[in-house]
Amino acid sequence: MGNMSGESSPAIESNSPVTLTDADFDSAVTHNPSLIVDCWAPWCGPCRAVAPTIDELAKSYSGRITFGKVNVDDNPRVAQKFGIMSIPTLLFIKNGQLVEQLVGVVPKKTIEEKIQKLL
């Protein structure tokens, strides 16, 4: 069959964060029961500070939790949907529902405590 774009995507198995957009965000939420989304922008220094932590966590929890990144400059619908005013913001989504939201640069330990709610 081949992977035609436009088909619904299955759950994403990845050991690094996947790039999400306004167009595929809802599909990612639907297909990934445990999803953490890093909302960021290229000009945001704190966003770059938290990125290595997100990369590490994506490897640690590969196969259990999907990590995504949304550039809020390019994807305003996601930012509006969740009322994001400050970045970086991490969205913790379980079975399609937002269960937790962290704003700003937070320690890896804090993020891991929130991750437990998704497992």
CATH number of the domain bearing residue 52 = 3.40.30.10
Has residue 5 been placed in a domain?
no
Residues in contact with 39: Cβ distance below 8 Å, sequence separation at least 6, in sequence order: 69, 70, 72, 78, 79, 82, 84, 87, 88, 89, 90, 91
Regarding pTM above 0.75, the answer is yes
Q: Could you tell me the mean pLDDT of each successive run of 10 residues in the chain, 119 residues long?
A: 43 80 96 96 96 96 95 96 96 96 96 92
pLDDT for the residue numbered 102? 97
Asked, for residue 70, whether it belongs to a domain, the answer is yes
Question: What is the count of structural domains for the chain?
Answer: 1
pLDDT given for residue 6 in this prediction: 42
Measured between alpha carbons, how far is 9 from 78 in angstroms, rounded to an integer? 18
Asked if residue 45 belongs to a domain, the reply is yes
Angle between helices 45-60 and 108-115 (to 10 degrees): 50
Check residue 32 and give its pLDDT.
Answer: 94
Domain that holds residue 87: 18-115
Question: What is the per-residue pLDDT for 117?
Answer: 85
Local structure of 114: helix, strand or coil: helix
In this structure, what are the phi and psi dihedrals at residue 116, rounded to the nearest 5 degrees? -55, -30
Whether residue 50 lies inside any domain: the answer is: yes
Residues with a catalytic annotation lie at 44, 47
